[in-house]
Each structure stands twice: as structure tokens, then as C-alpha cells.
């Protein structure tokens, strides 16, 4: 077990802590934690707490075979480009539902150059994905404020430009992002091809 001294106390390293948690929790929960410690921010301007190779090394030392397998799957899948815990868990549930791997923080361009960045992009499918975490945008009281109207107008304009660039946006809220069954239902309704058996094998998880 890797331990470090912090403020006079012996604690497990970030990599060891993530590996232990990933082995003992669900794949989705493990991904949220691993993404967080690997994050360099959506724009690469933050310092990660650890590196993937260190998490994998810590996972390899786990004695229990099942926990070791889950921890390694999380370490391989984790990505520091995740913009939020909601994006992390959504990416995990999409993978378990059988969705093809998206391009993260996908840059959208038109004739004027890059004008937007979406959380998930599937350019070959003509699809983009975004998770809406701000439920207050849907509240009638918020809609009556000038600030809200400006934000909604800007969001509508942004969506129109993204669609004009050839991408149809799939949106979901936290309740869908956290559940594989709801995510699967949404993606099927949007016409995305799913292959959960192959995807789970790719992730190193049981079929």
C-alpha cells in the first residue's frame, strides 16, 4: 500500500485511494473519482493530483481479483478532460449502455472558425451530447429575469450554430446521466448504435 505524509499524518496516496475506491464501488462511481484526480481541466490549465500509470500500478497490487479487475477498468477508462462529475458519470453510463466512445470537449467549427465546445462529440454520427446540470434554467421564476432571457437566447443561438455545423445535440439531465437504463433508452431514441457486449469487453468488465 502506498502511503504519504501530509500535514504530519500518514495517508494513502491519491493513486492508492482511487484504486481502492474504484475496486469497491460501482464502475460509474469509480470513474467520477478517477476523472477528478486526473483532471487537467477542460482547457488543460490544472495540475492533476496523480497519473493514470500510478492508479494502474496501485490497482495491480489489490489482492482481490474482482476488485483488482474493476479498479483496472476504471483506471483505463478515466479521462482528465471531463468537465464535471455529471460529465464523468454520464460517460460511464453511456459506455455501459454500449455507446461508442465520444470525443471529449469536442471543438465545433464553422466558416468563421471554432465557436463552441461540446462535452461529447460523435462527428462520424453527426451527434453531440451535453448534460444539463442547471435545473434552475427550467424554473418559471428564473425565466422572468432579464439575465435568464439573455442566457437562454445565447444558448438557443449556440445550438442553432452547432446544428448548422452538422451536429444534432442530445441533451439529458442528472437523473438520466446517473442511470444506465435511462441513458440507453435516450440514446436508442436518438438513433445511436449501441453494442453493450463489445463495449463491456473493451472496458474489461464482465459481459
Digit-coded pLDDT (tens) for 132-152: 864 444 445 445 556 767 777
For residues 60 and 126, state if they share a domain: no
For residues 116 and 186, state if they share a domain: yes
What is the arithmetic mean of pLDDT over 112-120? Answer: 89
pLDDT at 151: 77
- Comparing CA positions, the residue from 89, 91, 95, 80 lying closest to residue 29 is 89
pLDDT of residue 120 exceeding 90: yes
* 6 grid coordinates: 501530509
**Coil, strand or helix: which one is 132?**
strand
What is the arithmetic mean of pLDDT over 102-122? Answer: 91
Average pLDDT, the chain: 87
Condensed to tens digits (0 to 9), the pLDDT of residues 56-91 reads 999 999 999 999 999 999 999 999 999 899 999 999
For residues 119 and 56, state if they share a domain: no
Residue 153 located in a structural domain? yes
- Comparing CA positions, the residue from 27, 200, 204 lying closest to residue 98 is 200
Residue 89 located in a structural domain? no
For residues 69 and 135, state if they share a domain: no
Residue 29 located in a structural domain? yes
What is the arithmetic mean of pLDDT over 167-175? Answer: 95
pLDDT level of residue 115 (50, 70, 90 thresholds): confident
Range of the domain at 75: 3-80
Residue 149 located in a structural domain? yes
pLDDT level of residue 17 (50, 70, 90 thresholds): very high
Residue 203 located in a structural domain? no
Residue 207 located in a structural domain? no
CA distances from 84 to 12, 33, 192 (A): 24, 11, 23
pLDDT level of residue 41 (50, 70, 90 thresholds): low
Query: pTM of this prediction?
Result: 0.84
- Higher local confidence (pLDDT), 197 or 110: 197
Number of domains observed in the structure of the chain: 2
For residues 120 and 40, state if they share a domain: no
The domain that holds 148 is classified in CATH as: 3.40.960
- Considering Cα of 203, then 48, then 175, then 167, what sign does the dihedral take? negative
Distance from first CA to last CA of the chain, Å, rounded? 30
pLDDT at 135: 45
pLDDT at 137: 45
For residues 71 and 108, state if they share a domain: no
Amino acid at each position: 500500500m502506498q502511503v504519504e505524509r501530509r500535514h504530519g499524518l500518514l495517508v494513502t496516496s491519491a493513486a492508492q485511494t482511487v484504486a481502492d475506491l474504484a475496486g469497491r464501488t460501482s464502475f460509474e462511481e469509480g470513474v467520477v473519482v478517477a476523472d477528478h484526480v486526473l483532471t487537467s481541466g477542460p482547457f488543460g490549465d490544472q495540475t492533476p493530483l496523480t497519473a493514470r500509470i500510478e492508479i494502474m500500478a496501485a490497482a495491480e497490487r489489490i489482492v482481490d481479483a474482482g476488485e483488482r479487475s474493476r479498479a483496472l477498468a476504471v483506471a483505463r477508462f478515466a479521462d482528465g478532460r471531463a468537465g464535471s462529475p455529471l460529465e464523468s458519470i454520464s460517460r460511464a453510463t453511456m459506455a455501459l449502455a454500449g455507446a461508442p466512445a465520444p470525443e471529449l470537449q469536442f471543438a465545433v467549427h464553422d466558416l468563421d472558425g471554432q465557436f463552441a465546445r461540446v462535452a461529447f462529440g460523435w462527428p462520424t454520427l453527426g451527434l453531440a451530447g451535453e448534460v444539463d446540470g442547471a435545473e434552475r434554467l427550467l424554473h418559471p421564476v428564473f425565466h422572468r429575469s432579464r439575465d435568464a432571457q439573455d442566457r437562454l437566447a445565447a444558448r438557443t443561438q449556440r445550438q442553432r450554430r452547432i446544428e448548422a455545423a452538422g451536429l444534432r445535440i442530445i441533451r439529458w439531465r442528472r437523473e438520466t446521466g446517473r442511470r444506465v437504463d435511462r441513458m440507453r433508452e435516450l440514446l436508442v431514441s436518438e438513433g445511436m448504435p449501441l453494442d453493450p457486449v463489445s463495449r463491456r469487453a473493451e472496458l474489461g468488465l464482465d459481459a
